[in-house]
Amino acid sequence: MSNALIKAIEGAARIGISGHKRPDGDCVGSCLGLYNYIKDVYPEKEVTIYMESIKHEFCFLRYADQINHSFTDQKGHDLYVVLDCGDEERLGDYAIYLKKAKHIFCVDHHISNKGFGDEYVVEPEASSTCEVLFDMFDYDKISRECAEALYMGIVHDTGVFKHTNTSRKTMHIAGDLIAKGLNTSHIIDDTFYRKTYAQNQILGRALMESVLLMDGKVIYSVVTKEMLKFYGLTGADLDGIIDNLRMTEGVECAILMYEIGIDKYKISMRSNDFVNVSEVASGFGGGGHIRAAGCTLTGLSQKVLDKLLIPIREQLVAAGCIENETNVM
């Protein structure tokens, strides 16, 4: 299985790579990890990453400056690799490149990914797309720069090796990557933990305004456009808030809603032991993993919340976390 991607790369002259909208650490790490690998091992290939702008903290990765933001490339690709992306819609406007691609290859780890493209490798057990890619690469041919990208992706999707998706294999792979000579504390501190003053302020505000529901099993917080404007931030600055909500004592399921348009909310959900948030998100056209998922919903914030709470409540009752009669509030 692992060499299907390598075979596809070897048979292609012109290769495109894309990840999902609002690219996170695993998305950027996997796209740049693959890009670095192809540049190192197959320098004769023409390869391009098409993706939205990435956060400045990811820009230390080699070739981050070569990410292409255009939609106007008309030539088509022999091979188009889609990474860390559960469905075509998540590619956003870059999905147009799939139309002209001769061969589409998806590599992913989202349980909600039903498989798309001509070939796909989806491993829901893997911590990250970077972990899946690592298995496909020849270890001896992984450069330090490629290893940096893959390690960063694993760090982000495992929440620095603490989420339940962190397996023995994940740690082995991380060890093998570290052996390439990585400055791991730099990668972890500078790309994961460091926050600006304004980011810390909005974290504090979101926690202060959070609300407990259903006997304290559910917590939610809403970040409005006005709040983002006040602190001079965007949705990309809210990473980490959802995990703080999830870590509240007694909470099973955490919801962060942030406004991305008039009465339009991006939803992030996390659970600890029982609620399958991927199922909840998939019910609203989104997806993700069992313990971390998201979707987009339109409507007044209270109505959006009410919609989300129905399946969450059902799951909490089924798992015996709350009584059927428990008041939503």
Q: Residue numbers of the site for Mn ion (CB under 5 A)?
A: 26, 84, 128-129, 157
CB of 257: closest distance to Mn ion in angstroms? 21
Distance, in Å, from the CA atom of 223 to the CA atom of 256, rounded to the nearest integer, reads 8
**Which residues between 110 and 149 bind ligand 5GP (CB under 6 A)?**
110, 112
CB of 201: closest distance to Mn ion in angstroms? 28
Which of 15, 294, 297, 312 binds ligand 5GP (CB under 6 A)? It is: 294
Count of Cβ atoms closer than 10 Å to residue 197 Cβ: 7
Give every CB contact of residue 265 below 8 A, 6+ residues apart in sequence: 222, 257, 258, 259, 296, 297, 298, 301, 304
**Which residues between 163 and 222 bind ligand 5GP (CB under 6 A)?**
none
Q: Considering beta carbons, is residue 145 or 157 the nearer one to ligand 5GP?
A: 157
19 binds, among ligand 5GP, Mn ion, none (CB under 5 to 8 A by kind): none
Q: Considering beta carbons, is residue 139 or 193 the nearer one to ligand 5GP?
A: 193
Stretch that binds ligand 5GP, among 42-50, 94-102, 115-123, 282-290 (CB under 6 A): 282-290
- Yes or no: say if 212 and 218 are a contact pair by the CB < 8 Å rule: yes
| Torsion sign, CA atoms 29, 52, 282, 136 | negative
- Asked whether position 268 contacts ligand 5GP by CB under 6 A, the answer is yes
Distance, in Å, from the CA atom of 106 to the CA atom of 109, rounded to the nearest integer, reads 10
For 40, phi then psi, to 5°, come to -75, -45
- Yes or no: say if 283 and 277 are a contact pair by the CB < 8 Å rule: no
- Asked whether position 295 contacts ligand 5GP by CB under 6 A, the answer is yes
Task: Return the CA Rg of the chain.
Answer: 20
- Asked whether position 86 contacts ligand 5GP by CB under 6 A, the answer is yes
**Which residues between 223 and 252 bind ligand 5GP (CB under 6 A)?**
242
- Asked whether position 288 contacts ligand 5GP by CB under 6 A, the answer is yes
Structure tokens at 155: 């760090």
Give every CB contact of residue 44 below 8 A, 6+ residues apart in sequence: none
CB of 22: closest distance to ligand 5GP in angstroms? 7
Binding residues vs ligand 5GP (CB under 6 A): 20, 86-87, 90, 110, 112, 242, 268, 286-289, 292-296
